[in-house]
Homo-oligomer: A and B are copies of this chain.
Amino acid sequence: MIVILKPGTLPEKKEHLISWLESQKLTVHISDGEDYTVLGLVGDTGHIDVELLQSLDIVNSVKTVSEPFKQCNRKFRPDDTVVSVGGAKIGGGNFSIMAGPCSVESLDQILSVAQSVKEAGANILRGGAFKPRTSPYAFQGLKGEGLALLKEAKKATGLPIVSEIMNVNTLDLFEDVDIIQVGARNCQNFDLLQELGHLRKPILLKRGPANSLKELLMSAEYIMAGGNEDVILCERGIRTFETATRNTLDLSAVPALRDLTHLPIVIDPSHATGNSRFVPSMALAAAAAGADGLMIEVHNDPMHALCDGAQSLTPDEFSALAKKIAAVRQAVLA
């Protein structure tokens, strides 16, 4: 950590700060420049409050040298993490498509969609049972019953399944769910993350709409700190001033995260755009950008979907898209 003092700092104030830093078991290297004095702190700075230092009236600014995330940091583990689930692999060059309805609505619906997306080339089935909704008056999902129907579809098609958890108290219901999804609004629900760190099951962690990439990695770190190393990161749009799309898909997260972490990176164009007309182009873009997978909403009857029909593709649209995705992947890898 590096602390830059303001020009004209009184020597006694400087000495006071240095003694305090030394009392925190740090070695302080002092380098006096023309205008500024720079203090280099050596030792374990993990317990030092950067913002506190920054707020001192003699301090101009504080710079950290190392990132606060360790386990998910590519610098300390250069090889890609590959998550295996059912027959599917995600990361390390393996590409997965997770597809299915926003909400599980009935056995017929989920079986029919599952069959279609499998035929079209999806290798993981998604389906929501616990639905976080902005309004308390909106449909909140079939909950336990929804998970049971999803498991039926897993049995019928052999596809591994992914579904969202909202509350640690429902963890028992997720026993046969292959990947547990943490929704964007729970990206910093630290109690939930900690609990999921004790599992040995892949977690799909969605980036919160106001979370920086570094915060997303700190949330992954919460899970990994508990010993669960199978974390899949998912970008699904961030909040900006633009209203033409529901959120703004931050596709440059793919190369930026690739630099920072060894964890696989999946893109959800359905929630990002909120509009099925924009999903195909953004799915193809994600594949071209080098994402490790996609999560796409597909519904057999979007006009009657109980939630998020606007962003769902029909099975036919999905099938056409999946073919193009494969072609783009090949073009990029060639």
Contacts and interface: CB of A to CB of B under 8 A. Distances in A.
Nearest to A67: B60
Interface in A306-325: 307-311, 324
Given A36-B66, A275-B54, A289-B281, A239 B210 contact: yes
Contact of A240 (B7, B52, B241, B286): B241
A240 B55 CA distance: 20
Contact of A52 (B7, B259, B310): B310
A310 B49 contact: yes
A278 B245 CA distance: 23
Interface in A123-149: 132-137
A137 B46 CA distance: 8
Contacts of A61: 65
Contacts of A254: 281
A303 B20 contact: yes
Contacts of A54: 275, 310
Interface residues of A, number: 109
Contacts of A210: 208-210, 239, 241
B46 A215 contact: no
Nearest to A8: B75
A248 interface: yes
Contacts of A63: 2, 63
Contacts of A194: 136
Main SS class of interface, A: mixed
Contact of A309 (B52, B249, B331): B52
A35 B65 CA distance: 10
A95 interface: no
Interface of A: 2, 4, 6-8, 20, 29, 31, 33, 35-36, 38, 40, 42, 46, 49, 51-55, 57, 60-61, 63, 65-66, 68, 75-76, 132-137, 166-169, 185-186, 188-191, 194, 208-210, 212-215, 218, 221-222, 225, 238-246, 248-256, 259-260, 272-278, 281-282, 284-290, 302-303, 305, 307-311, 324, 327-328, 330-332, 334
24 contacts: A7-B75, A33-B42, A38-B40, A38-B65, A49-B309, A51-B309, A55-B276, A68-B137, A133-B190, A137-B225, A189-B189, A213-B244, A214-B244, A239-B241, A241-B241, A245-B256, A249-B250, A252-B282, A254-B281, A255-B278, A255-B281, A281-B289, A324-B331, A324-B334
